[in-house]
Structure 1
Amino acid sequence: MSNSAEDYLTARAKKIERKKRLLSIVSIISFVGSAGFGVIHLIQYASQPHQPTVVYTESLLEHQARGYELVLQREPNNQVALEKLSLLRLQLKDIKGSVELLEKLVKQYPNRQDYKMLLEQMKKQEREGDR
């Protein structure tokens, strides 16, 4: 091989090594910088006072119930909305409201034994609550 070809290959190898080193340095700096920003954010977040997040289950249930009531205004015989709203009213301790919805479901779907059984249980619970 000629001297100029060897010089070219040597120069090219040195150039590639410099590019590799430069890319490695940039990568390390980027990694350290992003990790540093993450740590700074974590320290700032930890040092700030926080208000505890409290979800009021009852208000959430009432909100869901209002949603199903809106559906029933548009579609009074919507089976899913009637079912879900009766269960929500039961969770909200509105047994009378739950019974009314279950009675409607039993009238619409007389073959559904689960509706009938649940209605009987609710009526029994309602009678016991009146005592």
Structure 2
Amino acid sequence: MARSGDDYLETRKRQIERKKRIWTTVSIISFFGSIAFGAVSTIQRAIQNPPQVTPTQSAEPSLQEQAKGYELVLQREPNNQVALEKLSLIRVQLKDFKGAREILEKLVKQHPDRQDYQVILADIKKREK
């Protein structure tokens, strides 16, 4: 009698394992199917409605607006590291190397362990010459 109990447990164990494999397979197929469906839909939309090409505008006014925003932040928080970093990058893009150098010198003083600030500062000093 104990033998049939063991057989039942083995049979039940195999059934459970088989169900797990089936569910895993169905889940994987569903996952990749949903990805494929999304990709096909996106490609169809891109083909049917190509993006509108607008004339390129100068980025300078946008950069100047961003610079003003960071300057306002720095008026409230003069040592805001993120605002200082972003403003220095914007000034480099605007070719205002003197302004970028002043900000980076402040960042190097505040964070002497940051090598990237020192490297960028040295590069800006070369560009100023």
- Would you say 1:100 and 2:102 are equivalent positions? yes
* Alignment match, 2:38: none
Aligned equivalent of 1:62? 64
Q: C-alpha displacement at 1:104, in angstroms?
A: 0.2
Measured in 2, the distance between the counterparts of 1:53 and 1:120 equals: 36
SS at match of 2:95: coil
Do structure 1's residue 73 and structure 2's residue 75 form an aligned pair? yes
Shift of 1:56: 3.1
Unaligned runs of 5+ in 2: 1-53
- Output the amino acid matched with 1:75: E
Structure 2: how far apart are the matches of 1:59 and 1:53? 15
Match for residue 92 of structure 2?
90
Q: Normalising by structure 1, report the TM-score.
A: 0.56
**Count of residue pairs brought into register by the alignment:** 76
Q: Which runs of 5+ in 1 are unaligned?
A: 1-51
Q: In structure 2, what is the Cα distance between the partners aligned to 1:78 and 1:108?
A: 10
Structure 1 residues 9-49: Cα deviation after superposition (integer angstroms, max 9, x where no partner): xxxxxxxxxxxxxxxxxxxxxxxxxxxxxxxxxxxxxxxxx
Q: CA RMSD, aligned part only?
A: 1.2
Q: How does 1:3-22 map to 2 (within 5 A)?
A: none
Max radius of gyration: which structure?
1
